[in-house]
């Protein structure tokens, strides 16, 4: 039995003690570090909780009045909340700054408050604020621009067009905006018939040389014959999403056969078989795919002015508010419509 016991002078005994000490130190170091890490996280959580909520309106008023933070700091904080989508907090700050802030910044604060109301969707409040600014400072182009946008959002296009006059007096070119508002006025008119709307839209399009997508999107949907008669082949790439959705029965083969881009587009669609290839990768793939392949074109839309990407077509960018700056980008996607049609046929 003595073979299982080691004397203290035995070298093996020292080695065992050494490894035991290492194990003990490592074990306690590991759990100590975990404990410290946990405490650090608790401390960080407590620290961050201080910034999760703003003071109440009364506390905010006291803080601003004390002047412990400069007005510039409050503006930066309000702007940060607005950018993150927390418009309520941003509005609270601007509202209190109007009450107790520096009167020299009153107009700028009013404008920022009105702009925040506009972004938050409180259009009537934003309209009242911009009108109040213009009442005392009529030559304020920023307030005029947002007042126009507010009227447009509430579909009061006549009032929006009235705002164009002072903007023109301030030197702003409003040609495209006027044409755009006239087109919206036509499209939303309950008095005009579809044919009258087509005539008016074509008149606006020919006089302004703009709004190609807006006009032809409506024409191809309501009166494809008139759309093809007034179609400018040089605008085909701008209208690729509209042209792609045209029904086969509404095609004008005479116009299509005279334009290489249209021949490639509708060959890729499978409506005609006249193009064997295309310089555009997506169209070339669809032309060479089997007709039964479940693939089609998908679209996303980029604003040429601010480069923001949208999943849907637009005529005025909701980010930078520029008009007629949409550009369609194409991509190959699965054709779910074909899948759905095949499933329906299988049940018949």
pLDDT in tens, 272-321: 989 889 999 999 999 888 655 688 899 999 999 999 999 999 999 999 99
- Residue 326, pLDDT score: 93
Q: Who wins on pLDDT, 47 or 193?
A: 193
- CA–CA separation, 89 and 299 (whole Å): 36
pLDDT in tens, 70-86: 788 888 888 988 988 88
Higher pLDDT, 12 or 99: 99
Please report which confidence band the pLDDT of residue 28 belongs to, taking 50, 70 and 90 as the band edges: confident
Calpha distance 109→75 (Å, rounded): 9
At the topology level of CATH, where does 57-172 sit?
A: 1.25.40
Is the pLDDT at 231 greater than 60, yes or no? yes
Q: What is the mean pLDDT of residues 17-37?
A: 79
Q: If we measure between CA atoms, which residue out of 272, 231, 222, 275 comes closest to residue 248?
A: 272
Domain range annotation of the chain: 57-172, 176-234, 294-348
- Residues 225, 247: Cα–Cα separation, whole Å: 12
User: How high is the pLDDT of residue 1?
Assistant: 44
**pLDDT 10s digits, 321-340:** 999 999 999 999 987 765 54
Q: How far apart are CA 213 and CA 316, in angstroms?
A: 11
H or E stretch including 303?
strand 295-303
Q: Identify the H or E element spanning 332.
A: strand 326-334
The answer to whether the CB of 224 falls within 8 A of the CB of 246 is yes
pLDDT at res. 48: 47
Closest CA to 221 of 265, 269, 187: 187
pLDDT of residue 100: 76
CA pair distance 333, 242, nearest whole angstrom: 17
Question: pLDDT tens, 107-143?
Answer: 999 999 999 999 999 999 999 999 999 998 988 999 9
Give 51's pLDDT tier (boundaries 50, 70, 90). Answer: very low
pLDDT averaged over every residue in the chain = 85
Q: Name every residue whose Cβ is closer than 8 Å to that of residue 109 and which is 6 or more positions away in sequence.
A: 94, 97, 98, 101
pLDDT on residue 81 = 86
* Residues 173-223 pLDDT 10s: 999 999 999 999 999 999 999 999 999 999 999 999 999 999 999 999 999
Is a pLDDT exceeding 90 seen at residue 32? no
Whether residue 8 has pLDDT greater than 60 = no
Q: Which residue did the predictor score with more confidence, 16 or 244?
A: 244
State the pLDDT at residue 289. Answer: 81
Q: Among all chains, which residue has been given the structure tokens 């759905």?
A: 340
Buried b (16+ CB within 10 A) or exposed e, 311-348: eeebbbbeeebebbbbebebeeeebeeeeeeeeeeeee
Question: 75 by DSSP, 3-state: which?
Answer: helix
What pTM, to 2 d.p., does this model score?
Answer: 0.76
What is the tens place of the pLDDT at every residue in 250-272?
999 999 999 999 999 999 998 99
Q: What's the distance, Cα to Cα, between the start and end of the chain in Å?
A: 88
């Amino acid at each position: 039995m003595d073979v299982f016991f080691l004397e203290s002078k035995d070298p093996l005994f020292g080695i065992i003690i050494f490894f035991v000490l290492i194990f003990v130190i490592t074990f306690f170091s590991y759990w100590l570090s975990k404990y410290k890490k946990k405490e650090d996280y608790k401390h960080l959580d407590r620290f961050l909780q201080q910034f999760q909520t703003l003071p109440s309106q009364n506390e905010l008023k006291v803080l601003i009045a004390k002047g412990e933070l400069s007005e510039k700091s409050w503006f930066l904080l309000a702007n940060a909340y607005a950018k993150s989508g927390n418009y309520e907090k941003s509005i609270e700050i601007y509202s209190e700054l109007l009450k107790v802030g520096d009167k020299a910044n009153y107009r700028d604060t009013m404008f920022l408050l009105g702009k925040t109301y506009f972004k938050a969707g409180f259009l009537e409040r934003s309209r009242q604020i911009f009108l109040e600014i213009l009442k005392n400072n009529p030559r304020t182009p920023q307030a005029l621009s947002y007042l126009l946008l507010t009227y447009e959002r509430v579909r009061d296009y006549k009032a929006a067009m009235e705002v164009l006059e002072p903007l023109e007096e301030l030197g702003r070119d409003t040609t495209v905006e006027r044409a755009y508002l006239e087109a919206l006025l036509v499209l939303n008119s309950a008095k005009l018939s579809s044919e009258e709307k087509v005539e008016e839209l074509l008149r606006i399009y020919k006089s302004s040389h703009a709004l190609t997508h807006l006009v032809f999107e409506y024409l191809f949907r309501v009166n494809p014959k008139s759309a093809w008669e007034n179609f400018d082949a040089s605008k085909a790439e701008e209208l690729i999403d509209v042209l792609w959705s045209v029904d086969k029965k509404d095609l004008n083969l005479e116009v299509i056969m005279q334009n290489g881009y249209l021949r490639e587009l509708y060959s890729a669609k499978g409506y005609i078989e006249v193009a064997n290839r295309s310089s555009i990768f997506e169209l070339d793939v669809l032309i060479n795919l089997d007709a039964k392949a479940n693939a089609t074109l998908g679209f996303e839309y980029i604003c040429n002015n601010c480069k923001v990407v949208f999943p849907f077509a637009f005529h005025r960018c909701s980010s930078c508010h520029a008009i007629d700056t949409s550009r369609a980008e194409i991509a190959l996607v699965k054709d779910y419509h074909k899948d759905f049609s095949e499933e329906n046929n299988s049940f018949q």
